Amino acid sequence: MTYSAIATVSSKNQFTIPIDIARFFNISQGTRLKINAYDDRIEIIPTNRGLDDFVGKFANTPIAKKTAHIPIVKIIKMAQAKEANRIANAC
């Protein structure tokens, strides 16, 4: 997707992300954004994306499809809990 829009910065240095972009990138209240500053531009990257954004060539595998809607942080916590459970039951 290529999209261009004009946003006005408020007195508190805030601006509103256009709704089309927010929907496309699944950005809503509470979404964390990584902000990179370059000599000639600012780059904004949503950081709480689902697993499908990180699996690359494995995006079409059954596990990726099943968990694509879950934020990666939640997947990591689920895996940690499962491993902790496995270790506790092994003793």
Query: What is residue 16's predicted lDDT score, i.e. its pLDDT?
Result: 95
* pLDDT, mean of residues 54-80: 77
Which CA distances in Å does 64 have to 7, 23, 46?
A: 35, 21, 19
End-to-end CA distance of the chain: 52
What is the per-residue pLDDT across 11-54, written as a single tens digit (0 to 9) for each?
Answer: 999 999 999 889 888 888 888 898 999 999 999 988 865 555 55
Fold of 1-48: Pemi-like Protein 1; Chain: D (2.10.260)
Nearest to 74 by CA among 45, 46, 50, 47: 50
Judged on CB neighbours under 10 Å (0-12, 13-18, 19+), 90 is exposed
- Domain boundaries along the sequence of the chain: 1-48, 49-91
